[in-house]
Amino acid sequence: MTDFLSALNPEQRIAVEHTEGPLLILAGAGSGKTRVIAHRIAYLIAEKGVAPWNILAVTFTNKAAQEMRQRVQRLLRDQELSSAPLVSTFHSLCVRILRQDIEKLNEKYSRTFTIYDQDDSLRLIKNCMKDLGFDEKHLGLRATQSTISSAKNRGEDVEEFTAHAEHVDERRASIALVYETYEERLHANNALDFDDLLIKTVHLLRQVPEVREKYNNKFRYILVDEYQDTNSLQFALISLLTEKQQNIAVVGDEDQSIYKWRGADINNILDFEIHFPKTRTIRLEQNYRSTQTILDVAGAVVKRNIERKGKSLWTSNPRGDLVRYFQALDAESEARFVAAKILEHRDEDYNLRAAVLYRTNSQSRVFEEAMRRAGLPYNIVGGFSFYERMEVRDVIAYLKLALNPNDSIALQRVINSPPRGIGKQTMEEVERRANDYGLSLWETISLVIEQPEKLSMRAVSALRSFRRIILRLAELAGTDLPERAPVGNNTQDTSFRGQEGGPAPAAPSSVSGQRSAVAIPSDIVKAAIFDTGYENTLKSEKTDEAEARLENLQELVNAAVDYDEQGIEGLREFIDHSALVSDADQYKEEAVVTLMTAHSAKGLEFPLVFIVGLEDGLFPHSRSATDAAELEEERRLCYVAMTRAERFLYVTHAMKRRVYGEELASEPSQFLNEMPLDLIEDLTRGNSWLSFARRSSAIDYEHGNRGSSPTVREGASDYASDRSGYRKERKKFEGKTYDSVHSIAEFFKQRAAQLGNTGGSFQSTREREERNKSARGQARSQADQLRRSASSARNDNPSDSRGPSSPLPVTPSPGGSADFVPGSYVKHAQYGRGLVLRREGVGDSLKLTVTFPGYGQKKLIQKYAGLEKA
């Protein structure tokens, strides 16, 4: 028999052996937590004789669940098992429970409920807003969705939210109305959104003792991964499930909490010992993944967080190489650099897996192109997942309709795709009458065919053919449908589903009178592609794009084959799966290069990691800039990204970047400044932000120098020798020099002060005044200035490089002289001719950001820099 303990270190062993009672495992990055969970499950089964079906392990992503399953399976490959332990995500666990027992909740939901993913939910909210007559722009569609979602996650139902809203403001009151309508319609569609999956499960467990009892008895041992990211609903769910046994083991790391924005409550892990009094706590602090250097650099960054208990992570791994840094000109050259480096590494070790981690999905495109050009096979996680592709969603919508024709969102999606002559006007009429009668769109269509009223014959026959298609699919799926919609009464009986908690739909008088054998899932999927005319329409297009779409649909059929044995329940599972797969699930271990967001990378590891786009406003993201807590979350995210690396870590940033199609200059990320510079190797050719940061310790002064250039002193070029001096020596120049190097420190201090951080603790009064002045100057639209400078830079016409006497047509900054406006050219004794990008402050503290060819961007104090117009 396998010895499940010998491969573990002492702490890991305790974590595995402590099987009874609450257990909190505080596991640092790379400390082998997945290993511990897998061993624990195997140990419970093999050594403690626990039945597999009494074990539940919960993760956040399907990918993590799958990995866990495989690991357990590998450990137990010698055992004869009657079943496998349940390893599931929170959401699929909820679906599993609800598909069994939701009818016991007595909220008139049937077991055949539909799951609305974010996109479906957004469409529904949109419909609600439209019908309520709210202006989508004014209220903000997405903002409304996220407000409602966070209310739901806080456990605020419509009544509570409305009660709060009435006293706040009009906007919130409007959202309350949308919330109310949204909930009504979800219910009328027999649909649950992602939040509902958790909410309804918690309700069910809370309100129905018999169900709670059942699952308490079933799941005698519960394990939760990434516990720091659980929200209050997930906590409630876990508490309810383990109420009786209290055999609950959770694994987490406060430094890797990156989902606060989604309602994750860090207190769940911090207060675990309070929630579960007899908790045994174990710390796993030995890192097996990364080199000492990578750990040191990552640790130095996350140490800046104040909201942190702090723990020490150590490793017996070698020091390894320095972290490598590269400053790119723009996003394209950044991507080229990354591709070139991956190729280089592959010359050494052909199987070296690499990851490129970015903050936002929009950054992925350039990297995709660069990889393709370099001939590197890559795998992209996120962005457009397979199940998010239009054609796939369309076919899934047909399938959803086959199982539940009252799903109005699915119906709206496909009623006219492929085009079958049911246009906007027709749909508006159908929707109007659906509202009047209080029927679903599907029911209304049946009614409208009988009584067309305003509708043209053409529209009616189009509707009739659509109805036939759905009836046919429903028949294949074995869904019982009433021959006709309940005609005539205009009461609000919108849900023909079971009033008494039963799955309702009518008597077993199916369409054709006799029930045909239910088809297997893949056949129904095929029918949804062929019988709907979808395939023919795509085929007749004869474009490459249509070709690709057809291939995707073929892929969908292939995916469905896996569910064939399970019959109609298989189809339902197939559809559930399509709603619940996440981006991270597309990650394939075999891929040479994986492109993904830092968020998606959580839980993964790679020998070679690139963290790209380390720029102010991007990473950390500008949306986090106003809030110190959010900035700390960004920092944790950066920490997560860095600790993915096993052997080689690269950090890069670009000088400029297109945002919304506009080119903007970018500053290096403050996180770069937080890395120990002596552990970083600069791969930039020529001058970079980093080389200036290093040189600062060797610079005495730089103001007023003309002609001769004493600026860069001895030792400045061999920064290798004074790497460590940077921070310490910087202080002595405070408030004296305003050269470009100083401005870097100044820049970061300002940033810290804006965030209300303690970063500016050693600033002088004078500096504070300076900052206040410059803040006023900054108030002007940065984008506007850049647009101006960009346009004049493009135009090399000498008349555009006018001196102070004829400035560009820009508003002069308040109170300042009109000299050196953004867009004009200046001459610097050392750097030569440069373009003014930005100006801040007035009078003596007038500062200019100037870009000099070959030297990059500099921030200069006009008074000292000795600038001339050029």
Identify which of residues 293 and 532 has a Cβ nearer to DNA in the complex: 532
- Contacts of 402 by beta carbon, 8 Å cutoff, 6+ apart: 470, 473, 474, 476, 477, 479, 524, 528
Shortest distance in whole angstroms from residue 764 CB to DNA: 34
Shortest distance in whole angstroms from residue 119 CB to DNA: 9
Shortest distance in whole angstroms from residue 90 CB to DNA: 6
- Decide if 866 contacts 704 (C-beta within 8 A): yes
Q: Which of 69, 635, 644, 749 is catalytic?
A: 644
- Contacts of 769 by beta carbon, 8 Å cutoff, 6+ apart: none
Q: Is 325 exposed, middle or buried (0-12, 13-18, 19+ CB in 10 A)?
A: buried
Shortest distance in whole angstroms from residue 34 CB to DNA: 17
- Contacts of 870 by beta carbon, 8 Å cutoff, 6+ apart: 801, 803, 825, 826, 827, 833
Q: Which of 33, 572, 635, 647 is catalytic?
A: 33
Shortest distance in whole angstroms from residue 774 CB to DNA: 26
Identify which of residues 508 and 661 has a Cβ nearer to DNA in the complex: 661
For residue 806, which of 794, 823, 783 has the smallest C-alpha distance? 823
Shortest distance in whole angstroms from residue 583 CB to DNA: 5
Residue 441 CA to residue 514 CA, distance in Å, equals 26
Per the structure block, which two tokens stand in for 615? 């720029």
Check residue 389 and report its DSSP letter: S
Q: Which of 193, 226, 475, 605 is catalytic?
A: 226
644 is catalytic: yes
- Decide if 608 contacts 355 (C-beta within 8 A): yes
What does the binding site for DNA look like in residue numbers (CB under 7 A)?
60-61, 89-91, 118, 137, 140-142, 194, 258, 261-262, 359-362, 365, 382, 416, 419-426, 456, 458-459, 580, 582-585, 596-597, 599-600, 621, 623-624, 630, 658-661
Identify which of residues 419 and 710 has a Cβ nearer to DNA in the complex: 419
Please name the helix (run of DSSP H) or strand (run of DSSP E) that holds residue 492, with its range, or none: none
For residue 219, which of 237, 196, 200 has the smallest C-alpha distance? 237
Per the structure block, which two tokens stand in for 491? 């009461």
135 is catalytic: no
Q: Which of 11, 103, 196, 225 is catalytic?
A: 225
Quick count: other Cβ atoms within 10 Å of Cβ 742? 23
Per the structure block, which two tokens stand in for 121? 């939910």
Q: Which of 12, 234, 256, 327 is catalytic?
A: 256
Identify which of residues 388 and 523 has a Cβ nearer to DNA in the complex: 388
Identify which of residues 126 and 275 has a Cβ nearer to DNA in the complex: 126
In a 3-state reduction of DSSP, which class is residue 505?
Answer: coil
Shortest distance in whole angstroms from residue 588 CB to DNA: 15
Identify which of residues 91 and 695 has a Cβ nearer to DNA in the complex: 91
Identify which of residues 571 and 641 has a Cβ nearer to DNA in the complex: 641
Shortest distance in whole angstroms from residue 382 CB to DNA: 5
Residue 534 CA to residue 538 CA, distance in Å, equals 6
34 is catalytic: yes
Per the structure block, which two tokens stand in for 402? 């086959």
- Decide if 732 contacts 742 (C-beta within 8 A): no
Q: Which of 34, 59, 291, 737 is catalytic?
A: 34
Q: Is 454 exposed, middle or buried (0-12, 13-18, 19+ CB in 10 A)?
A: exposed
Residue 108 CA to residue 497 CA, distance in Å, equals 7
Shortest distance in whole angstroms from residue 641 CB to DNA: 12
For residue 641, which of 701, 597, 678, 692 has the smallest C-alpha distance? 597
- Decide if 580 contacts 95 (C-beta within 8 A): yes
Shortest distance in whole angstroms from residue 632 CB to DNA: 12
Amino acid at 569: E
Identify which of residues 443 and 633 has a Cβ nearer to DNA in the complex: 633
In a 3-state reduction of DSSP, which class is residue 420?
Answer: coil
Identify which of residues 194 and 733 has a Cβ nearer to DNA in the complex: 194
256 is catalytic: yes
Identify which of residues 269 and 422 has a Cβ nearer to DNA in the complex: 422
Quick count: other Cβ atoms within 10 Å of Cβ 822? 25
Sheet holding 55-59, edge to edge: 86-89, 55-59, 221-224, 248-252, 23-27, 280-284
State the angle between helix axes of 232-241 and 194-207 in degrees (0 to 180), rounded to the nearest 10: 40
The residues assigned a catalytic role are 33-34, 225-226, 256, 644
